[in-house]
Structure 1
Amino acid sequence: MTDTALPAAAPAPTESPLRRIIAEFAESRLALLGVAMLVLFVGAALLAPLLVPQDPYDLATLDILDARLPPGEVSGTGLVFMLGSDGQGRDMLSAMLYGLRISLFVGVTAVALALAIGASAGLLAAYIGGRTESIIMRTVDIQLSFPAILVALILLALLGNGVDKVIIALVAVQWAYFARAARGAALVERNKEYVEAARCLGISRARLLLRHLLPNCLPPLIVIATVDIARSITLEATLSFLGLGVPVTEPSLGMLIANGFDYLLSGVYWISVFPGVLLTLVIIAINLVGDQLRDVLNPRLKR
């Protein structure tokens, strides 16, 4: 009897890292709730001109006689203020959605710029080493030794009000977090085989850092960026509440809360409370997503 060779078993299909991350992320119902909330908030902010009954920036549509109307009240022009009106006669729902656009724009833009600057500095510090690393990391240590809100207040006192000024201040107080995290991750990666192979092949330093080292350092940076978006929105709201953030003509959620603070004791609660609730829900949604991303990208921290 002749032996017949058995057919070789087909190799098991390997799951892509992206699919694995999505599958593990979807295991958390709270994370999915956070994603749903963020999609709702971002969609409402982007579609605000189509959804709201009034443009809060158009002075021609405002009437001082409609100031501080309670929720559900009808204005003289027949407009129903579902969430009431503020001290300038603006529909609160319209002002909140437009304010949400500014808050999200400031938070995302500031974190994106801080990530780019901080990651570049951290990678250079870890890869080059020596005096360059000492200078960069001592600068990071000095930056982190001061409270972020204090540095932002000083910068805005010098720069003045404005959305661009707030973004500059937030980048200045947040880039150091990304620099330290990027350096720590790059120190682990720089002596691995793929980096040594890239050096032996004569790949340029810029290409090695951007094409090989940076992608392997991104997971902790993504987690920090997600959490820092919520932190940036909170800082911007705090600065605007103190009168050093965005201008009154472009109110963010923080500015809307500040506008109604003086009326709280007189019973006009909706001007501050409704924007405050929306701000809280946005921060909660971002933190829910960030917590699950942390657990997925760094299983050692999984609770």
Structure 2
Amino acid sequence: MAAKHESLFWQAVQEYFESRTATIGLILLVIIVGVALLAPVISPQNPYDLMAIDIMDGKLPPGSKSMDSSITYTLGTDSQGRDMFSSILYGLRISLGVGVVSTIIALVIGSVIGLWAAYKGGKIDSFIMRTVDLQLSFPAILVALILLAILGKGIDKIVLALVMVQWAYYARAIRSNVLVERHKEYVEAARCLALPQRRIMFGHVLPNCTPELIVISTVKVAGAIALEATLSFLGLGMPITQPSLGLLIANGFKYLQSGYYWISFYPGVALLVLIVCINLVGDRLRDVLNPRLKR
């Protein structure tokens, strides 16, 4: 059985790399994650260290040198004299961290609730699904805006808001899969063996729903990053001391008409490339893990 699963795994990996676009997206995503994790090592400047920045270097164009000629600002500087390249690397860390952590927490909460609702059925299932329908009837950004207006700014606050926005998607997805799986032969066999209900749910049913959860969560990471960037751009996301890519774009937006395009442009390009790469990987995973959806 283990050899069969290993063979299927390598077959899926081989099928994934048959797409050149998805392969390029995966390579770029690995590079982006790598440079984000190594930001403190490869950044020429720590943009959070007040002793390392000089306001006299503010709004320097790309390729300029610092006043003491110790640093070359490859992507220029912002209004505070912070190196844009370093700020983007640190911003990538925050954007990726918020997106991944919020998606994982929402995935766990939504999967447990959806699995329980589908397996129990009856009034419990009806109540949970009506709650899910009620939340999904509102735009995600509206729910997040209301929550952040109540909770305030902070990385923990925005993670909580994104979890509250996302969990309903996973609950609905896992429920629809469990409703199909619960009547199959292997579940009936497990019941005949008098296995505990928890073991049937988490040991037999849930693993067979994993492929679709992987696809959904991959795409939702990109959605969470984009939503966080939007909220930060509107001034309700990350605090100024922890700038994500969205906040970096907002900081330079007011200088666009003055000709200082690089303050917003390069963080915007980084955000665009990050989201596109994640979506490319998610689309290919969908085709590989669920061939029925292949276009």
TM-score range, shorter chain: over 0.9
Q: How do 1:50-129 residues align onto structure 2 when only pairs under 5 Å count?
A: 50-78=41-69, 79-129=71-121
Of 234, 237, 240, the match for 2:229? 237
Secondary structure in 1 matching 2:263: helix
- Whole-Å Cα distance in 2 between the matches of residues 61 and 206 of structure 1? 55
Question: In the alignment, which residue of structure 2 is the partner of 1:201?
Answer: 193
How far the C-alpha of 1:255 sits from its partner, in A, is 0.3
Question: In the alignment, which residue of structure 1 is the partner of 2:157?
Answer: 165
Question: In the alignment, which residue of structure 1 is the partner of 2:175?
Answer: 183
Question: In the alignment, which residue of structure 2 is the partner of 1:247?
Answer: 239
Computing the radius of gyration from Cα coordinates, the structure with the larger value is 1
Question: In the alignment, which residue of structure 2 is the partner of 1:32?
Answer: 23
Which sections of structure 2, spanning at least 5 residues, go unmatched? none
How far the C-alpha of 1:43 sits from its partner, in A, is 0.3
How far the C-alpha of 1:206 sits from its partner, in A, is 1.7
Superposition TM-score, scaled by structure 2 size: 0.97
Superposition TM-score, scaled by structure 1 size: 0.94
How far the C-alpha of 1:254 sits from its partner, in A, is 0.3
Question: In the alignment, which residue of structure 2 is the partner of 1:259?
Answer: 251
Secondary structure in 1 matching 2:51: helix
Listed one character per residue, the Cα deviations across residues 228-263 of structure 1 (whole Å, up to 9, x for unaligned) are: 000000000000000000110010000000000000
Counterpart code for 2:50:
L
Question: In the alignment, which residue of structure 2 is the partner of 1:272?
Answer: 264
Q: Percent identity?
A: 63
Question: In the alignment, which residue of structure 1 is the partner of 2:216?
Answer: 224
- Whole-Å Cα distance in 2 between the matches of residues 65 and 122 of structure 1? 55
Secondary structure in 2 matching 1:76: coil
- Whole-Å Cα distance in 1 between the matches of residues 177 and 15 of structure 2? 23
- Whole-Å Cα distance in 1 between the matches of residues 180 and 30 of structure 2? 35
How far the C-alpha of 1:199 sits from its partner, in A, is 1.5
Report the count of equivalent residues.
291
Counterpart code for 2:213:
L
Is residue 130 from structure 1 mapped to residue 125 from structure 2 by the alignment?
no
Listed one character per residue, the Cα deviations across residues 94-116 of structure 1 (whole Å, up to 9, x for unaligned) are: 00000000000000001101110
- Whole-Å Cα distance in 1 between the matches of residues 157 and 198 of structure 2? 31
Of 140, 143, 149, the match for 2:141? 149
Question: In the alignment, which residue of structure 2 is the partner of 1:10?
Answer: none
Over aligned residues, Cα RMSD in angstroms?
1.1
Counterpart code for 2:55:
I
Which sections of structure 1, spanning at least 5 residues, go unmatched? 1-12
Listed one character per residue, the Cα deviations across residues 26-47 of structure 1 (whole Å, up to 9, x for unaligned) are: 1111111111001100000001
